[in-house]
Amino acid sequence: PAVRLQSVFPIGDFSGASLLEFVKYTFEPPKYDVDECRQRGMTFSAPLKVTLRLIVFDIDPDTQAKSVKDIKEQDVYMGDMPLMTDNGTFIVNGTERVIVSQMHRSPGVFFDHDKGKTHSSGKLLFAARIIPYRGSWLDIEFDAKDIVYARIDRKRKIPVTSLLFALGMDGEEILSRFYAHINYVRDPKGWRVPYDAERMKGFKATADMIDADTGEVVVEAGKKLVARTARQLAEKGLKFLRATDEDLYTQYIAEDLVNPATGEVFAEAGEEITEKSLKLLTDAGFDEIPVLDIDHITVGPYIRNTLNVDKNSRREEALFDIYRVMRPGEPPTLETAENMFQSLFFDSERYDLSAVGRVKMNMRLDLDAEDTVRILRKEDIFAVVKALVDLR
């Protein structure tokens, strides 16, 4: 028991004003012997008492320096611990029983889907789970509407973007980590968009594809751009394609578009481009518009859509939301919310991925963390979300 108790203590409150330490433990003599337990239908056990020390601190509001205000020690009854008999068995409610070892879930990161059993359409809902040797389980999962959620210790789910906000990322950074950008540049004849042979292979032209520099039709409407043709066009010097306003409609802004003189935000990252919003941007003098590279075939808008439904937009809001999920009913402060979130995955005293779990995570996600790093890192969580989205 001493090793287990020492792994839990000391326990501090989130304000740092008090600390609870483990001193020692003692077993009192069993109330009934083995034969009496069999006759009375009792469990053969001994009361476990633990001596705990409570230290209360005074904290200087200016320097945050701590000084000991009070120390108290007290014996605390922790419960009855079942005892083994001379035969290597246990008496539980008057019945003699033996203990069978239980399989321990292997630590690491695991990807799976529900085999189409959750939704009536049979749609596969993909999920990832990070299992530590000790600490909170973290689930990342899709719902039927392709929104990505996070769930800590199987409690109420939150949008995964809230988890990323809590890790210190903002909306623009989240989108830039998951999606490449394509820059549309305005010229007198419309818009110019860079030609990428790798991205365009397999693309079926809904209208004539025109070289923005020469005006030549390089692919006729209705034709499919096979890999060989796409590569040949690049080799012949095709660098930009002509685009129209209609090509920008329903695409998503890649970064905040801000007037540098006034600081006014004309469009936020992730915002869908409409005819009205595009006119507003062009009237304001934006001749270059970065959009997210989402083709809805190889790259889906899952993270963008999750960001759109997330009611949180700042780190503080996300921390409060996670705190309310984990500890409903307790009013949080920013400090307690930060400390609680830190203790979930980033405190080695409360979270242990284990060396095996770290090696398995490194192999599955192609990471290079040392096997001595047994807590989660920001990069680990991001890599799990990215792998799940790519899997979908």
**H/E element, 343:** helix 334-345
Residue-wise pLDDT for 264-276, tens only, equals 888 888 889 999 9
Backbone angles phi, psi at 229, to 5 degrees: -65, -40
**Long-range pairs of 257-265 with CB within 8 A, sequence gap ≥ 24:** 257/281, 257/286, 257/289, 259/284
Count of other CB atoms within 10 angstroms of residue 126: 17
Q: How far is CA 369 from CA 167, 383, 388, in A?
A: 18, 12, 20
What whole-number distance in Å separates Cα of residue 335 and Cα of residue 93? 46
If one compares 99 and 364, the residue with the highest pLDDT of the two is: 364
pLDDT at 123: 79
Q: Categorize the per-residue pLDDT at 102 as very low, low, confident or very high, splitting at 50, 70 and 90.
A: low
Annotated domain spans of the chain: 2-97, 108-166+316-391, 196-238
The mean pLDDT value for 154-170 works out to: 93
Order across the sheet with 66-82: list the strands: 11-12, 18-27, 45-59, 66-82
Q: Tell me the pTM.
A: 0.73
**Cα separations in angstroms, 189 against 31, 213, 275, 355:** 93, 10, 18, 60
Does residue 257 have a pLDDT over 90?
A: no
Residue 241's DSSP bridge partners are 193, 211
The pLDDT of residue 15 is above 80: no
* Region of residue 153 (left: phi > 0; alpha: psi -120 to 50; beta: else): left
Please report, rounded to a whole number, the percentage of residues in the chain having pLDDT higher than 70. 99
Statement: residue 21 has pLDDT above 70: yes
Residue 285 pLDDT class (50, 70, 90 cuts): confident
CA dist 254 and 268 (Å) reads: 8
Q: Would you say 150 and 161 are in contact if contact means Cβ atoms under 8 Å apart?
A: no
Please compute the mean of the pLDDT values over residues 244-248 and round it to a whole number.
88
Mean pLDDT of all residues in 3-19: 81
Which CATH superfamily is 108-166+316-391 part of?
Answer: RNA polymerase Rpb2, domain 2 (3.90.1110.10)
Report pLDDT digits (tens) over 104-129.
778 999 999 878 777 777 778 889 99
Position 304: which residue type? R
Q: How far is CA 112 from the centre of its chain?
A: 16
Does residue 103 have a pLDDT over 70?
no
Looking at the predicted structure, is the pLDDT value of residue 65 above 80? yes
